Structures are given as C-alpha cells and as structure tokens.
C-alpha cells in the first residue's frame, strides 16, 4: 500500500518480537467440496515464519512504500531516481513528465491498493500467472475465493474459468507487456485486458511510456507523444475510468525487490543492460508486501517441463527462457518462500 501497510503495526512490535506482523492460513489445495472453505482468521503469522528463517527476516522490509503517488514526489526522490537509468529509473526523463502524471495521483486512492475502510480483517490474495500448470487444474473457485486476485499480462479467462477463475481485482503490466500480450496472444483469446467496476490497473513503470499512458488514461485523452502516440487508453481500460482505478508501482520499491530478492548473478555475466525480473515476479512480491496471505498460481515449479508454456496454449509449447529474465532464480525463490510458510505455491 502507501507509506505503511498497517496503521496499528507499532502496537504489535512487542508482542510479535519483530518489526512486522503478517497473518497467514493454510489453503486447502485440491479440496473437493463445492465451495472452498475460508478460515475465520489468519493462523500463520509471518513474524513467526521470519523468526524461523533469518534469511527472509533480513530481506523483508514491509514498511517500504509500494505505490508512488503525488505526495511522495520530493526533490530528494527526484535527485535519486534521476541518477538511475531505465528501466525503473528517471535518467533522461523530464521532471515535468513525471510530475504531470503524479499530480493526477494525489489522493488517498493513489497511495493505497485498497481503501482502509474496505480492508478485511485478514486480506487473502491470489496472484495468477499464466503458466501451463494451470491447464486442467480446476483451481478457479479457489482463486475466486480470495479477497483480491492479481493477474498479469496475457490473462486469458474466457474458456478457462474452471482453471483460473473469473475474478480480477488488479491487472498488472507495463505498457510494453500489455501491448505485446494483446499482439502475441490474440489468437489464444486475449482480446482485451480485464475490465469491470472492481478492476484496478497497476502500472509497472519500466519506461516513460508507462507514465504517459497513465496520464492519458486518467485524463481520458489520446496519448499525445512517444511510441504510443494516438493510442486511446479507453480502448484498453474502458470509458470513464476514474483516477482511483489506476495505481503506480514505486520505482524505489522495484529496486528494493531486485536488490533483496531478485539480484541475478546474470548481471555479472554481461546481462546488466537487459536483465529485468518477470512481471509475475514483481507482482507476487508486491502481494507479499501488502496482503496478509498470498497464494501463487501458474508460477514456475521444479517440474515445469511437464506443462506447456501457458495454460491457454493450443498445443504444448516448452517454457521459454528469455535472456532478460532469470526464471531459474525466480523458481528457487518461490520454492524457498513456500517451504518457509510465507506463501502457498500451487504445485502438481
């Protein structure tokens, strides 16, 4: 969320024995009941998990601001990020371009993923990637039972409801990954990003394109410049989308995630200029810093060779290992987080 996950966090310091507290429950994977059961309260505190695993206790900083909004744009932030090249940096980007976008995200809705007044006692989140492990999984009702559902990039739903559910709370993307998904997965059924009254759009700012598209989406005007000049954001996000539907991941938060969790050794082998985490990795770690419980679906597992690249592939395709990602690193991280009891990773 914004500056701090919980206003009552300080009250738990002494009792939890650590600076942060997060609740958890055990999901009933593969339950055969007509409706998935939901425990009344969180039963697995992250504090206890972190105490058992010093590595993650040192890595997690749950007070790090997750979203960027107008109130956080200070001369100091500009000075820091303007020294960092893209992606996720502002070098060679004008202050006016950044400020004109953040000025439109200057209310409480821009600072929080969800309103405090609507926050359940235990926020349960599902993060749904597009891995082929979900085909035939029949996890749709379990996914939809969560309070919030995050989806990324080519989130095909129609025809796969039993496997991936129908609920979308946050659609997460960069402009580049959104448009590539619409181009590459059109024939597989990704004809539109998720839309609806309750859908929010989480921009991952990888370049100036994301700030320009976000500004145009809030204002309801065509994109005035750059690679997307002439694009009509309403075609992607629906007409009359209010500013509160749009969120922007904080570049400093992304840098923190890369440094602490996703610092690939590939950077030291000449890939520094092209390495970025996958969209799914950034979103899953975002959920782990904002939700009380996180379940991950469609992410890479050790037996990935048994499944197609995507659940919506018309024929089995091998998982693609792109040069700019380190999926092996991500797979190891998901396994470690699952074994530590910090999240639940769907596996078959």
Q: What is the CATH number of the domain that holds 222?
A: 3.90.1480.20
**pLDDT less than 50: residues of the chain:** 1-34
Query: Which residues are 67's β-sheet partners?
Result: 249
In a domain, 153, yes or no: yes
In a domain, 15, yes or no: no
Q: How far is CA 277 from the centre of its chain?
A: 11
Among 49, 55, 48, which residue's Cα sits nearest to residue 17? 48
Judge residue 334's burial from the number of C-beta atoms within 10 Å of its C-beta, 0-12 exposed, 13-18 middle, 19 or more buried.
Answer: buried
Q: Quick one: CA dihedral 163, 147, 71, 250, positive or negative?
A: negative
E strands, the chain, are 124-128, 148-152, 170-173, 200-203, 246-248, 293-297, 344-345
Q: What angle do CA 299, 233, 310 make, to 5 degrees?
A: 20
In a domain, 19, yes or no: no
In a domain, 330, yes or no: yes
Q: What is the pTM of this model?
A: 0.85
- Cβ–Cβ < 8 Å for 297, 348: no
Residue 160, phi then psi, degrees to nearest 5: -125, 20
Judge residue 35's burial from the number of C-beta atoms within 10 Å of its C-beta, 0-12 exposed, 13-18 middle, 19 or more buried.
Answer: exposed
In a domain, 309, yes or no: yes
The 3-state DSSP class for residue 215 equals: helix
- Return the structure tokens found at 83: 């020294």
* DSSP assignment of 32-68: -SSS----SS----HHHHHHH-HHHHHH--TTS--B-
Judge residue 213's burial from the number of C-beta atoms within 10 Å of its C-beta, 0-12 exposed, 13-18 middle, 19 or more buried.
Answer: buried
- Return the structure tokens found at 320: 């693609």
Number of domains in the chain: 1
In a domain, 144, yes or no: yes
Among 86, 90, 69, 61, which residue's Cα sits nearest to residue 78? 90
Sequence-distant (6+) residues with CB within 8 A of 204 are 172, 173, 174, 177, 210, 249, 254, 279, 282, 283
> In the prediction, which pLDDT does 11 show?
33
> In the prediction, which pLDDT does 37 show?
54
In a domain, 192, yes or no: yes
Residue 118, phi then psi, degrees to nearest 5: -105, 10
In a domain, 93, yes or no: no
Q: How many helices (H) and strands (E) does the chain have?
A: 14, 7
d(CA 150, CA 128): 6
d(CA 274, CA 65): 26
Domain containing 300 equals 46-66+123-345
- Cβ–Cβ < 8 Å for 156, 177: no
């Amino acid at each position: 969320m914004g500056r701090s996950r919980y206003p009552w966090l300080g009250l738990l310091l002494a009792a939890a024995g650590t600076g942060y507290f997060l609740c958890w429950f055990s999901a009933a994977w593969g339950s055969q009941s007509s409706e998935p059961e939901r425990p009344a309260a969180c039963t697995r505190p992250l504090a206890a998990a972190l105490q058992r695993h010093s590595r993650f206790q040192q890595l997690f900083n749950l007070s790090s601001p997750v979203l960027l909004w107008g109130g956080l744009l200070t001369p100091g932030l500009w000075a820091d990020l303007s020294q960092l090249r893209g992606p996720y940096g502002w070098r060679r980007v004008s202050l006016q371009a950044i400020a004109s976008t953040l000025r439109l995200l200057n209310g409480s809705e821009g600072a929080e993923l969800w309103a405090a007044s609507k926050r359940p006692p235990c926020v349960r989140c599902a993060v749904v990637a597009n891995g082929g492990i979900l085909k035939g999984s029949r996890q749709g009702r379990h996914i939809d039972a969560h309070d919030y559902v995050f989806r990324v990039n080519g989130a095909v739903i129609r025809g796969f409801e039993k496997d991936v559910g129908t609920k979308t709370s946050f659609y997460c993307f960069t402009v580049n990954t959104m448009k590539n998904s619409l181009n590459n997965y059109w024939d597989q059924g990704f004809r539109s990003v998720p839309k609806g009254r309750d859908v929010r759009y989480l921009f991952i700012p990888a370049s100036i394109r994301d700030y320009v598209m976000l500004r145009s989406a809030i204002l309801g005007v065509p994109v005035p410049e750059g690679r997307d000049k002439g694009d009509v954001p309403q075609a992607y996000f629906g007409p009359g989308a209010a500013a509160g539907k749009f969120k922007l991941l904080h570049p400093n938060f992304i840098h923190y995630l890369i440094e602490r969790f996703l610092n690939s050794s590939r950077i030291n082998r000449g890939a520094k200029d092209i390495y970025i985490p996958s969209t799914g990795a950034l979103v899953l770690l975002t959920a782990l810093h904002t939700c009380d419980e996180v379940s991950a679906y469609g992410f890479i597992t050790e037996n990935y060779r048994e499944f197609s690249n995507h659940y919506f592939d018309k024929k089995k395709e091998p998982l693609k290992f792109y040069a700019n990602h380190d999926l092996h690193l991500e797979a190891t991280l998901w396994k470690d987080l699952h074994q530590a009891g910090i999240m639940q990773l769907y596996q078959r």
